[in-house]
Amino acid sequence: MTENDAIIQIKKTKKSISGKSSQKMKWSDEMLTEERLQGIERIVKEKGSASIPELMERMGISESTARRDLTLLDKQGRLQKVRGGAMIIGDVYSTKEDTVLQKKDRNLEEKVEIAKYAASLIEPNDFVYLDAGTTTELMIDYLTEKDITFVTNAVSHARKLSMAGYTTYILGGEFKATTEAIVGDEAIESLQKYNFTKGFWGTNGVHQKLGFSTPDVKEAKVKEVAMKHLVEVPIDENGSVPHDYIGKFGGATVLLKRAPEGTGIIAGGPARSILELAGIKNIRTKSLGSNNKQNVVLATIEGLKSMKTPEEVARLRGKSVSEILG
């Protein structure tokens, strides 16, 4: 064998080794991809869902890699890709209730955005019902107004609100350890004395046709009753009440009279605050009987709650709206 032949032989050997090495590296990359996918799948299954930032941190991968892997796992039917992360398939109708600790960091990025927006809806002098839940608890961190009163069925919320300087009432009743919420008949009875200007509720599931749901019957009932104590006030085209009405509570009586544009709110202090919160711009009122501020406020609320739209009045009388309005 000549020297040149030996050199050619060595080059061929190197090329052959190089080819094998390349093939092995390609196979290894495929294994790494599958291992990464399995790791993502495992993280999501641990808690039922996971956000992209969480996957990036725990897997040590980039955002683009996380999104690409979730798309692949979704196509393979191993996970369900959702906005901002992924969730396990087939857990949509689960009746298992996770603890607050288990749910606290789940979909945290989305919860914070919801909490910020919800907190921005609260205005001075609002009387707010704040339901138990990890998202509703986050709202407290983003409150900017101070002159607000809260009622809650969550022990953690009550503590946090009170420490932040808010007047806070907590419902009495049975303590549910899983969600740290107060539930049961006593809680429902506690709700009867309140009427709220705004309310914010937690939910376990959302369905396009069936609406909101929670797996616990007692907790669902408290939510339902609290929602019924929100004051909904019909307002006409002039920013006034649709008709005159007399509201009564205890020894207090408040006459609410419809008024035209430009009238403003003609009312005493206690009633004025409620009317402003209700969004009324023009109204005349007269307080009769007791001057007890609390009773005047509650009489005003009772009057507003009893208001009916022209459509409701027409339906009750079996007439058309045009006949009612003349």
Q: Does residue 38 share a domain with residue 145? A: no
Predicted confidence at residue 139, as pLDDT, reads: 97
Residues 152-198 pLDDT 10s: 999 999 999 999 999 999 999 999 998 899 999 999 999 998 888 89
Longest dimension (CA), the chain: 123
Domain for residue 260, yes or no?
A: yes
Mean pLDDT of 203-209: 74
Q: Does residue 65 share a domain with residue 42? A: yes
DSSP codes of every residue in 205-241: EEETTTEEE-S-HHHHHHHHHHHHTB------TTSS-
The fraction of the chain above a pLDDT of 90, given in percent, is 43
Q: Which of 44-53, 132-141, 173-182, 205-214 has the lowest mean pLDDT?
A: 205-214
Domain for residue 35, yes or no?
A: yes
Domain for residue 94, yes or no?
A: no
CATH number of the domain encompassing residue 104: 3.40.50.1360
Residue 237, token pair as written in the block: 């085209």
Mean pLDDT of 29-49: 82
8 A C-beta contact, residue 119 and residue 144: yes
Residues 108-154 pLDDT 10s: 888 999 999 999 999 887 889 999 999 999 999 999 988 899 999 99
Residue 268 to residue 274: CA distance in whole angstroms: 10
Q: Does residue 250 share a domain with residue 290? A: yes
Of 65, 87, 109, which residue is a domain's last?
87
Helix axes of 63-75 and 3-47: crossing angle, nearest 10 degrees: 80
Residue 320 to residue 315: CA distance in whole angstroms: 7
Q: Which of 223-237, 250-264, 305-319 has the lowest mean pLDDT?
A: 305-319
Mean pLDDT of 4-20: 43
Predicted confidence at residue 172, as pLDDT, reads: 95
Query: Between β-strands 211-213 and 205-207, what pairing exists: parallel, antiparallel or unpaired?
Result: antiparallel
CATH number of the domain encompassing residue 81: 1.10.10.10
Q: Which DSSP symbol is given to 282? A: S
Q: Does residue 157 share a domain with residue 116? A: yes
Q: Does residue 150 share a domain with residue 221? A: yes
Question: Which among 256, 231, 236, 253 has a CA at the least distance from the CA of 245?
Answer: 256
Q: Does residue 106 share a domain with residue 57? A: no
Give the DSSP H or E segment for 303.
helix 293-305
Residue 115 domain boundaries: 100-228
Residues 56-95 pLDDT 10s: 999 999 999 999 999 999 888 888 888 788 888 764 445 5
8 A C-beta contact, residue 298 and residue 249: yes
Residue 270 to residue 293: CA distance in whole angstroms: 6
8 A C-beta contact, residue 143 and residue 162: no
Length of the chain: 326
Domain for residue 119, yes or no?
A: yes
Predicted confidence at residue 76, as pLDDT, reads: 87
DSSP codes of every residue in 103-157: HTTTTHHHHHHHHHHHHHT--TT-EEEE-SSHHHHHHGGG----S-EEEESBHHH
Predicted confidence band at 11 (pLDDT cuts at 50, 70, 90)?
very low
Q: Does residue 55 share a domain with residue 119? A: no
8 A C-beta contact, residue 244 and residue 257: yes
Residue 205, token pair as written in the block: 């599931």
- Helix (H, G, I), strand (E, B), or coil: what is residue 289? strand
Work out the mean pLDDT of the chain and round it to a whole number: 84
Of 166, 196, 228, which residue is a domain's last?
228
Q: Does residue 70 share a domain with residue 10? A: yes
CATH number of the domain encompassing residue 271: 3.30.230.10
Exposure b/e, 52-61, CB count within 10 A at least 16 = b: bebbbeebeb
Question: Which among 176, 171, 103, 96 has a CA at the least distance from the CA of 138?
Answer: 103
Residues 251-308 pLDDT 10s: 999 999 999 999 999 998 888 888 887 889 999 999 988 888 888 888 998 898 888 8
Contacts of 91 (CB under 8 A, 6+ apart): 48
Residue 90 gets the label, from left (phi > 0), alpha (psi -120 to 50) or beta, of: left
Q: How many domains does the chain have?
A: 3
Question: Which among 199, 193, 196 has a CA at the least distance from the CA of 130?
Answer: 199
Q: Does residue 81 share a domain with residue 143? A: no
